[in-house]
Structure 1
Amino acid sequence: MSHTATVREYYDLVDAGETDALVALFAPDVTYERPGQSPIEGREALRTFYERDRPLSDGSHEVGEVVADGGTVAVRGQFEGRQAGDPVEFWFADFHTFDDAGLITHRQTFTDRDEV
């Protein structure tokens, strides 16, 4: 699967709540950085985040632009869902870095939200 296809699949899996398949897209030593928060380090911490700690829920990602350059894929899109029970809608930019095995080793999210 191409890096671009993997990233598109990532958003589909997040929206579907398919944690096992989602976590399988990432390298064991993945780092995920989000605005104003400590990095998430490792697959198990990533699993815990998506199963229990993610502040966003009941939402969907609309992927807009996807730009690939070697082992990095950048995405610009919009999320619509709920945060702490309240409706939210915001733009995001994400960067995904891949290893030679095609797994995501680093993910970084940029948004105007304090917490995602």
Structure 2
Amino acid sequence: MIAPGNIATKTMTHGEAMVRRYYECVDNNDVEGLVALFQPDAVYRRPGYPAMVGHAEMAAFYRGGRKFSGGAHAFTAVLDTGTHVAVHGEFAGTLHGGTSMTLRFADFFEVGADGLFSRRDTYYFAPLG
């Protein structure tokens, strides 16, 4: 039996820290901050959009292409292998027209040798019909 004072605490990995910083930037509309977490030629794929390649395309998306005017991400799980970080969670936000929306998501990030994200793929739990 482990005594309460001896319970080990989890140390956050580089990948998890980067992912948490990324969502903090998204939730605070810090486009420059979130783009800086990616390599200059990084690729971002999400349903319903063409692949975004590089800082300029990602910045354009977050400044005007995103369907949400704001919101907040909450995590269910963050898993880091060292080169890949998977995130499962829920997003609660407001569409530009004022409608509130909550959805579940899963994101997969690849971390390059330089410590920046080289790729991100997003998936949503959404009705198909």
Q: TM-score, normalised by structure 2?
A: 0.83
- Contact in 2 for aligned 1:66/1:73 (Cα 8 Å): yes
* Residue in structure 2 matching 1:91, options 104, 117, 120: 104
The answer to whether 1:60 aligns with 2:72 is yes
- Structure 1 stretches of 4+ with a deviation exceeding 4 A read none
Can you give the 5+ residue segments of structure 1 that lack an aligned partner in the other structure? none
- Pairing partner for 1:31 from 38, 43, 48: 43
Structure 2 residue matching 1:35: 3-state secondary structure = coil
Alpha-carbon RMSD across the aligned residues, in angstroms, is 1.5
CA distance in 1, matches of 2:88, 2:101: 17
* Partner residue in 1 for 2:54: 42
Q: C-alpha separation between the residues in 2 aligned to 1:50 and 1:36?
A: 15
Question: CA offset at residue 3 of structure 1?
Answer: 1.1
Aligned length: 114
Which structure dedicates a bigger proportion of its chain to strand? Answer: 1
- Aligned partner of 1:8 in structure 2 is 20
Distance 1:13 1:22 in 2: 5
Decide which structure has the larger Cα Rg and report it: 2
Structure possessing the higher relative contact order (Cα contacts under 8 Å, 6 or more residues apart): 1
Secondary structure of 1:11 counterpart: helix
Q: Which residue in the other structure is 1:19 paired with?
A: 31
Specify every segment of 5 or more residues in structure 2 that has no aligned partner in the other structure, as ranges: 1-12
CA distance in 1, matches of 2:55, 2:32: 10
Mapped contact 1:78–1:92 kept (Cα < 8 A): yes
Confirm or deny: 8 A CA contact 1:35 1:113 kept in the other structure: no
Alignment partners' CA distance in 2, 1:30 and 1:113: 26
